[in-house]
């Protein structure tokens, strides 16, 4: 029962999976401190915005949310307002000047320190925590959104310097967790009944390069490939995924491991950003479009049915129509199962934002529309290979639009719906015959439902 003095919290999360994973850990810390989740932010005594600044529109969204709650604080003086994540790191104290109602501004590296920071707030301080720190291991159990699939951070930060990107500024240098800590977390998840684990890193192929230990030939002992072998046999876990891959560091050894290890799903998220070599150079990506194509060819040699998804940016400074068409050509040739596209957005503190060859908003949005049109056509084509096939679907939840159906994902990460009762099927791997296809999702009929054991 909730007592009147029970303090309630609400977290709104923007941005990528790293932020979602951080939010789950911060929620765990708050619950440990005695806070209770409030679905409605307007009933909460503590509100935390875990923010994203990858593009300008992501950043602006935060200010409009924040404005509303800052106003509410004038009527409810004991409301605690927190901005965490990437906008917090980017803006730091500037945020306090802009929104003086804020109690705590904390960068992503400080997520695991939330308790200590809040104690200082409750002592009457306004706190800014944005200095670079060594990320401490989790001490609290995260409050995870799903009880079927879970994220596990393996490397924080990014040492790349892509000329458009704020991530290295806001997430700091690469910090790998030890294989032992990662395995221990996955073992615990296996015991709790989690079936699918996604290993997370902004540049996951960099995993381990900051850890001590290498062979006499200088080979790093702690690569992502080694990590996959090391955690693969954890009991209870049926599927392993990882994201995000960087074409510069993606190896054939990793592809072979994925083909060999049965739990690793045949899905690769490898952003290419542009299909034009000059632009790739201007972006400082460290590979050519030919190399990207070779990676995809190699994946398809080992795993002909593998799903490929990626990210791309259109309207990068100086992008000509011909260079944009090289990106379209790559999209046409590869046939992505999914492609996240974005118009280039100049970000503070990044080199490309200062260049004088910026394109107009009209050109950027026209190119975005044209690429999205092609992405839809290609994704629909890719979906067709599923028609009539039998796919293994891991059931995650009810279909919110049709409660007679459940939803889950194929190994290739296609969202799939079929008739069934979530109470019976949650967390089950079900064989489903695909009867309907759409660009980004499928519908099917279960052909082999695991039976509840009757005595
Ligand atoms: N670490 C990943 C991506 C991280 S950010 C990688 O290296 O690919 C997620 C995506 O946001 C990027 O892949 C890129 O497509 C997009 N993005 C990053 N900065 C951007 C910017 N300034 N404008 C538009 N899109 C951007
Ligand atoms: Fe950003 Fe590049 Fe690092 Fe990805 S690899 S997070 S795009 S700097
Ligand atoms: Fe956004 Fe930060 Fe992720 S800027 S995309 S939340 S790393």
Q: Which atom of ligand 1 is nearest to the CA of 346?
A: 22
Cβ–ligand 2 contact at 328 (below 6 Å): no
Cα(160) to centroid(ligand 2), Å: 6
Question: What burial class does residue 286 get, using C-beta atoms within 10 Å of its C-beta: 0-12 exposed, 13-18 middle, 19+ buried?
Answer: middle
Could you tell me which residues are beta bridge partners of residue 156? Answer: 175
| Nearest C-alpha neighbor of 52 from the set 79, 28, 102, 17 | 17
- pLDDT the model gives residue 2: 43
Query: Does ligand 3 come within 6 angstroms of the Cβ of 129?
Result: no
Which of 16, 90, 110, 168 gets mutated to test ligand 3 (max ligand atoms within 8 A of its CB)?
16
Structure-block tokens of residue 11:
């977290």
Q: Residue 437: CB partners within 8 Å, gap ≥ 6?
A: 380, 383, 384, 386, 387, 443
- Residue 165 annotated as part of some ligand binding site: yes
158: Cβ below 6 Å to ligand 2?
A: yes
Digit-by-digit pLDDT tens for the chain (455 residues) are: 444 468 999 999 999 999 999 999 999 999 999 999 999 999 999 999 999 999 999 999 999 899 999 999 999 999 999 999 999 999 999 999 999 999 999 999 999 999 999 999 999 999 999 999 888 776 678 999 999 999 999 999 999 999 999 999 999 999 999 999 999 999 999 999 999 999 999 999 999 999 987 555 655 668 999 999 999 999 999 999 999 999 999 999 999 999 999 999 999 999 999 999 999 999 999 999 999 999 999 999 999 999 999 999 999 999 999 999 999 999 999 999 999 999 999 999 999 999 999 999 999 999 999 999 999 999 999 999 999 999 999 999 999 999 999 999 999 999 999 999 999 999 999 999 999 999 999 999 999 766 655 54
Which ligand is located closest to the Cα atom of residue 244?
1
| 16 is known to lie in a ligand binding site | yes
DSSP 308-341: EEEEEEES-TT--HHHHHHHHHHHHHH--SEEEE
Q: ∠314-90-135 over CA atoms, to 5°?
A: 110
CB atoms within 10 A of CB 329: 14
Q: What is the dihedral of CA 293, 295, 301, 302, to 10 degrees?
A: -160
How many Å lie between the centroid of ligand 2 and the Cα of residue 4? 46
Residue nearest to atom 5 of ligand 2 (CA): 160
What is the pairing mode between strands 429-437 and 390-398?
antiparallel
Nearest ligand to the CA of 107 is 3
pLDDT at residue 197 in the model: 98
Q: What is the DSSP letter of 134?
A: P
Q: Is 203 in the pocket of ligand 2 (CB under 6 A)?
A: yes
**Burial label, 140 (beta-carbon count in 10 A; 0-12, 13-18, 19+):** middle
């Amino acid at each position: 029962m909730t007592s009147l003095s029970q303090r309630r919290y609400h977290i709104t999360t923007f941005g990528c999976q790293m932020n979602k994973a951080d939010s789950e850990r911060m929620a765990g810390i708050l619950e440990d401190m005695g806070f209770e989740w409030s679905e409605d932010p307007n009933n909460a005594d503590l509100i935390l915005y875990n923010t994203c600044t990858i593009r300008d529109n992501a950043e602006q969204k935060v200010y409009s949310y924040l404005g509303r709650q800052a106003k509410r604080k004038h009527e409810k003086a004991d409301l605690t307002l927190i901005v965490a994540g990437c906008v917090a790191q980017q803006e730091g104290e500037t945020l306090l000047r802009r929104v003086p109602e804020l109690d705590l501004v904390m960068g992503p590296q400080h997520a695991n320190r939330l308790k200590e920071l809040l104690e200082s707030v409750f002592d009457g301080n306004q706190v800014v925590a944005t200095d670079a720190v060594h990320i401490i291991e989790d001490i609290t159990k995260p409050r995870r959104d799903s009880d079927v699939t879970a994220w596990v951070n393996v490397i924080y930060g990014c040492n790349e310097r892509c000329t458009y990107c704020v991530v290295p500024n806001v997430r700091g240098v690469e910090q790998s967790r030890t294989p032992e800590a990662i395995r221990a977390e996955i073992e615990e998840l296996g015991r709790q009944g989690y079936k699918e684990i996604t290993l997370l890193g902004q540049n996951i192929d960099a995993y381990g390069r900051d850890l001590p230990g290498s062979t006499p030939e200088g080979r790093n002992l702690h690569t992502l490939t080694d990590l996959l072998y090391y955690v693969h046999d954890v009991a209870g876990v049926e599927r392993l995924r990882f994201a995000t891959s960087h074409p510069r560091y993606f190896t054939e050894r990793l592809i072979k491991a994925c083909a060999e290890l049965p739990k690793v799903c045949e899905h690769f998220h490898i952003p290419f950003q542009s299909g034009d070599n000059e632009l790739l150079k201007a972006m400082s990506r460290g590979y050519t479009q030919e190399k990207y194509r070779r990676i995809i060819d190699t994946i398809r040699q080992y795993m002909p049915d593998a799903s490929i998804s990626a990210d791309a940016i259109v309207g990068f400074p100086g992008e000509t129509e011909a260079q944009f068409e090289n990106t379209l050509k790559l999209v046409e040739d590869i046939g992505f199962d999914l492609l996240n596209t974005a118009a280039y957005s100049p970000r503070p503190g990044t080199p490309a934002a200062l260049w004088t060859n910026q394109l107009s908003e009209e050109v950027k949005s026209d190119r975005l529309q044209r690429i999205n049109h092609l992405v839809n056509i290609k994704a629909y084509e890719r979906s067709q290979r599923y028609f009539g096939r039998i796919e293994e679907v891991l059931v995650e939840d009810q279909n919110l639009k049709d409660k007679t159906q459940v939803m889950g994902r194929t190994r290739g990460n296609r969202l799939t719906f079929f008739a069934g009762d979530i109470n019976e099927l949650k967390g089950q791997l079900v064989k489903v015959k695909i009867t309907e296809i759409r660009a980004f999702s499928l519908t099917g009929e279960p052909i082999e439902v695991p039976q509840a054991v009757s005595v």
